[in-house]
Amino acid sequence: MITFAAMMKLSNIASFWRDLDNVKSLQIFQLCRYGGIILTNILLAKSYLGLSEIGVYETLMFLATGITFFWVSGFLKGMLSIYPGLNVAERKRFFFNVFLLFAGMSVLMSGVYFGFQRLVLGLLTDYTSLPLFNLLCLFILINTPTYLVEYIYLLTEQPRKIVGFGVLAFGAQFLAVVVPIYLGYGLDMSFNLLIVVACVKFVWLLFLLMEYSSFSVDWKLIKPYLILTLPLIANFFVVGGAEYIDGVIIHRFFDEEVFAVFRYGARELPLALALTGAFSSALIPSIAANLEAGVQEIKQKSRQLMHVLFSVSIVLMLLSPLLFPLVFSVDFKESALIFNIYLLLLISRVLFPQTILIGRQETRIILWISLLELIVNVVLSLIFVQYWGIAGVAVATVIAYLLDKVLLVVYTKRKFQIAVSSYLDLRLYGVYSLGLVASFCLSLVIY
């Protein structure tokens, strides 16, 4: 019986692997990304490093993503919208030209950090000098273009390779950070190994470009691509910038130890970020190719997404005050409240009007609405932090993000006559949202 059961499990795994599509593969890829981050945080918290040293690591990661997240996200989302409308020859030239943009921006951004170190640290942190900052600049230069790898696989319909690359890349990054710490070598060795991993990923990217691109500069392809992506880049800068402004506010009001506590809690459920982000990205080409069919696909597949994400979030909402001291350490007990507040972002995350708008190349409205979101977030953060401390900053983020999604829903209805009920099961959404809010209130009462 045991052998038969084992064979059935292997058969199910083989069937899942055989039927793997772009949505599932990109979701697994993002799970590998966020899983690596969480495991790294757990093991660093349990290592010999003190809160101040962990604060240095978190600040370095904060700065690394702060200079790249907006234009990387904009370029990648733009690729998904443009690529389906190109012919075979144009697609090959397109990959190479996008790579040139990534490489050029990586040189520029790492150069800005390297050349204006004191200004950057003065604006974004409370450090006058930061250990390993020069290594961070080198890491940004080499690693950033490698974000193209999974999207080349996505657009060339190779879901299994997306998963394979994710497992290898994030597994290597996890080991590069954690192993040197536990062997007593410190963060210096960790960052040197991260650069080695980045070099391997960059070589991987070059081999992909040799196979799937033609090395030819084509301004006629790049110009419409830039016109589409510049509003997206500005949007991601504004929306993601709110997170970094939150970090700046925390740095200004509190010390690096409180910043570490905030950063450990100020993370949405990794499962939610991984699955919703990958879901949205993977369906943009479907919307670009066929609006009606793409909208139906969003509604159908988002039901499955809500069942998983809301169930897990409700359970974690009730258990996180107990889990944080156990999983990390007692120093991060206060992070649980911040985490619970960020769990409420799921109510907005499972709304996907932005997928429809990007797929139909309606990117400017996304920018204008995100500007409003940023203003609301900053104003509320500065007000709430004085009354509720770091929890107030988290509450402001939840309110501002919900406003952003509501306005996008309204615009999608007015522009395309697509009601939210066309791409969202409202009854299921309402029940789960109320359940999540109720569990948050219950956690406040219990703990």
Please give the pLDDT value at position 329: 65
- DSSP-assigned letters across all residues of 50-101: -HHHHHHHHHHHHHHHHTTHHHHHHHHHHHHHHGGGS-HHHHHHHHHHHHHH
Handedness of CA 241, 244, 250, 251 (dihedral sign): negative
Query: Percentage of the chain with pLDDT > 90?
Result: 37
User: How far apart are the C-alpha atoms of 116 and 158, rounded to whole Å?
Assistant: 41
Task: Please tell me the chain's helix, strand, coil percentages from 3-state DSSP, rounded to the nearest 5.
Answer: 85, 0, 15
> What is the reported pTM?
0.73
Q: Is the pLDDT of residue 10 over 60?
A: no
Q: Is the pLDDT of residue 252 over 90?
A: no
Report the number of secondary-structure helices (H) and strands (E) in the chain: 20, 0
Please give the pLDDT value at position 7: 47
- pLDDT band of 48, cuts 50, 70, 90: confident
User: How far apart are the C-alpha atoms of 420 and 137, rounded to whole Å?
Assistant: 43
- What single-letter DSSP state applies at residue 113? H
Highest mean pLDDT among 25-29, 207-211, 226-230: 207-211
Higher pLDDT, 32 or 20: 32
Q: Is the pLDDT of residue 4 over 80?
A: no
Higher pLDDT, 134 or 8: 134
Higher pLDDT, 221 or 15: 221
User: How far apart are the C-alpha atoms of 21 and 203, rounded to whole Å?
Assistant: 26
Mean confidence (pLDDT) of the chain: 85
Please give the pLDDT value at position 198: 96
- Note whether 246 and 265 are within 8 A (CB): no
Please give the pLDDT value at position 1: 46
Q: Mean pLDDT across the stretch 21-46?
A: 85
Q: Mean pLDDT across the stretch 376-405?
A: 88
Q: Is the pLDDT of residue 244 over 70?
A: no
CA separation (Å) from 414 to 295, 358, 407, 410, 418?
16, 16, 11, 6, 8
User: How far apart are the C-alpha atoms of 166 and 204, rounded to whole Å?
Assistant: 12
User: How far apart are the C-alpha atoms of 113 and 94, rounded to whole Å?
Assistant: 29
Q: Is the pLDDT of residue 2 over 60?
A: no
Q: Is the pLDDT of residue 3 over 60?
A: no
Residue 205 sits at the vertex; the CA angle it makes with 112 and 223, to the nearest 5 degrees, is 65
Q: Is the pLDDT of residue 12 over 80?
A: no
Count CA within 13 A, CB hemisphere, residue 390: 28
- pLDDT band of 19, cuts 50, 70, 90: low
Please give the pLDDT value at position 352: 92
Q: Mean pLDDT across the stretch 428-438?
A: 95
Q: Is the pLDDT of residue 97 over 90?
A: yes
Please give the pLDDT value at position 94: 94
Query: Percentage of the chain with pLDDT > 70?
Result: 88
- pLDDT tens for each residue of 255-273: 666 666 666 655 666 667 7
Please give the pLDDT value at position 193: 95
- Note whether 286 and 359 are within 8 A (CB): yes
- pLDDT band of 98, cuts 50, 70, 90: very high
- pLDDT band of 380, cuts 50, 70, 90: very high
Q: Mean pLDDT across the stretch 305-326?
A: 88
- pLDDT tens for each residue of 54-86: 878 888 888 888 788 888 988 998 898 888 888
Q: Mean pLDDT across the stretch 10-24?
A: 64
